[in-house]
Amino acid sequence: MLRYLRTLLELDSFQVTTAGTGEEALQLVQQGLTPDLVLLDSFMPGIDGLEVLRQFKTLRSDIKVVMLSCVNDNRRVAEAMRLGARDFISKPFRKQDLDDAIALGLGLSKHPAKEEIEGEEIQLEEDRYFVFGSAAMREIRAQATLVARVDLPVLLLGESGTGKEVLAHFIHKMSPRANRTFTKVNCAAVPPDLLESELFGYEAGAFTGANRPKPGKFELCNNGTILLDEIGEMHPALQAKLLHVLQDGTFSRLGSRTTVKVDVRVLAATNIDIKKAIAEKVFREDLYYRLNGFTLKLPPLRERMEEVPLLIRHFMARLAEKYARQPIPLSHALTEACMAHSWPGNLRELENFVKRYLVLADEQMMIAELTPNKSHVGGPGELSSFAAQPNGEGLKKLVRNLKDEAEAEAIAQALEKTRWNRKQAAAELRISYKALLYKVRQYGLEPPRRP
């Protein structure tokens, strides 16, 4: 295998150094060898590939590694990815597989200059696209592409609106189950007493109004992929039943004594702090470890601002087509305002902003919307000058802003008081849990970052 790989790579003008064992490879790196990419076999005499990978990352955290193995072991692949492997090739492999892995590992591209400017746009469904351009999202895409081929549960983390559902669709599309059913269930949108029957179905007579049997989402999604969105909002009692399904693929409908066996890949998404939820006993630790076959954390839009122009062009083109309007170009002033905004609502906020701009076509209004409101009630002079704006809109706007600020402050205080337990905060504020979630998104409230 070493001779074969050396021949293939040297024919492609790569400079190749080989090592027959893991110990030899580690010694070469310790002596100062700085490879651009390592092709590392999973099983070798002496220490195995995973241990070599672990030690490589200790010696040089930036080292890029592609694993090779003749054994298709999902857990081993997931462990290699967690340790930082860029890709995993199953032997025997085609030359094209090797070329693709090297291109991914080295970050090569057929059109690098074009991709750096325009990013990439992958169509997942008729009206759903995976759009990205930043280095962070290219890394997410590479990891998602790899984990898609491995039939493990995947936990998707990130703030609301960062694109977790789109990433779930991408994983399904890239997986061997791509031609099967993809189903999404929003665990926060379905009342807890109905979520069990929604997921697992029921028999006739299981409860009042159950006149006929109904299969649940897991049955309907057999051999496909299910996305459990907002998994952190699932009631602990139902988490136990979900854990059983993940362990052996069996469950019982409500009102039934027989079991149903299914083969469903589970993707789960949440924007809560899972570790904190486990510590507070609102999320089962054993369920977390069962769901966490692999974790992908989507960065918020404010951490990948270079994608904002790309995403605006994408949303403008798609929405203009949807509403049968001509796309409106962004001026330099509006682009600067967009780049200066923090986008607390992430991609969802950006899409709605583009939609309003397309419909209203008022650039000054959109710039004003993005400009932070620094006004405050400091005295009568400020109030009168604000209220004296044309068309009588100044006072209305002032009152609305003051109301919003007071409401946001009250919600923030309640969340802080309850240590960001949103159900307790909703009870404290005497509003519904769903209304609280909406307000949290509306005002871009976030839990404080812990040191």
Contacts of 355 (CB under 8 A, 6+ apart): 315, 319
The closest alpha carbon to 296, from 445, 85, 449, 81, belongs to 81
Instruction: Average the pLDDT over 244-264 and give the result.
Output: 90
Q: Backbone phi, then psi, for 297, in 5-degree steps?
A: -110, 115
pLDDT, tens only, 329-353: 888 889 889 999 999 999 999 999 9
What CA–CA distance (Å, rounded) separates 442 from 423? 17
Lowest mean pLDDT of 69-83, 121-135, 219-233, 321-335, name the range. 69-83
pLDDT, tens only, 93-144: 778 878 878 887 776 644 333 333 357 889 898 889 999 988 889 889 988 9
pLDDT averaged over the chain?
83
At the topology level of CATH, where does 301-372 sit?
Helicase, Ruva Protein; domain 3 (1.10.8)
Contact by Cβ (8 Å): 298, 164: yes
At the topology level of CATH, where does 2-108 sit?
Rossmann fold (3.40.50)
Higher-confidence residue: 108 or 91?
91
Q: Is 108 exposed, middle or buried (0-12, 13-18, 19+ CB in 10 A)?
A: exposed
Instruction: Average the pLDDT over 227-236 and give the result.
Output: 92
CATH of region 374-451: 1.10.10
Ranges of CATH 3.40.50.2300 domains, the chain: 2-108
The share of the chain scoring above pLDDT 90, in percent, equals 32
- With bands split at pLDDT 50, 70 and 90, how would you rate the model's confidence at 372? low
pTM of model > 0.75? no
pLDDT for residue 402 = 62
Higher-confidence residue: 100 or 258?
258
User: Is 80 exceeded by the pLDDT of residue 49?
Assistant: yes
Terminal CA-CA length for the chain: 48
Lowest mean pLDDT of 149-158, 254-263, 327-336, 370-379, name the range. 370-379
- With bands split at pLDDT 50, 70 and 90, how would you rate the model's confidence at 387? very low
Contact by Cβ (8 Å): 185, 136: no
Lowest mean pLDDT of 81-90, 107-116, 266-275, name the range. 107-116
Ranges of CATH 1.10.8.60 domains, the chain: 301-372
Torsion sign over Cα 381, 383, 384, 388: positive
Paired strand residues for 396: none
The share of the chain scoring above pLDDT 70, in percent, equals 88
Q: What token pair was written down for 104?
A: 């991914």
Q: What token pair was written down for 446?
A: 């976030």
pLDDT for residue 92 = 76
Q: Which residue has the tokens 């409401």?
A: 407
User: Is 90 exceeded by the pLDDT of residue 414?
Assistant: no
Lowest mean pLDDT of 67-81, 364-378, 406-420, name the range. 364-378
Ranges of CATH 1.10.10 domains, the chain: 374-451
Ranges of CATH 3.40.50.300 domains, the chain: 121-299
pLDDT for residue 10 = 86
pLDDT for residue 192 = 80
pLDDT for residue 157 = 95
The H or E element containing residue 70 is none
User: Is 90 exceeded by the pLDDT of residue 56?
Assistant: no
Higher-confidence residue: 407 or 264?
264
User: Is 80 exceeded by the pLDDT of residue 373?
Assistant: no
Q: Provide the CB-side half-sphere exposure for 354 (13 A, CA).
A: 28
The closest alpha carbon to 349, from 321, 376, 369, belongs to 369
pLDDT for residue 219 = 94
pLDDT, tens only, 145-195: 888 988 889 999 999 999 999 999 999 999 999 999 999 999 988 888 789
Instruction: Average the pLDDT over 5-16 and give the result.
Output: 88
What CA–CA distance (Å, rounded) separates 156 from 167? 8
The closest alpha carbon to 147, from 298, 287, 294, belongs to 294
At the topology level of CATH, where does 121-299 sit?
Rossmann fold (3.40.50)
Buried b (16+ CB within 10 A) or exposed e, 170-179: bbbbbbebee
The H or E element containing residue 67 is strand 65-69
Instruction: Average the pLDDT over 273-301 and give the result.
Output: 91
Q: What token pair was written down for 201?
A: 């179905």
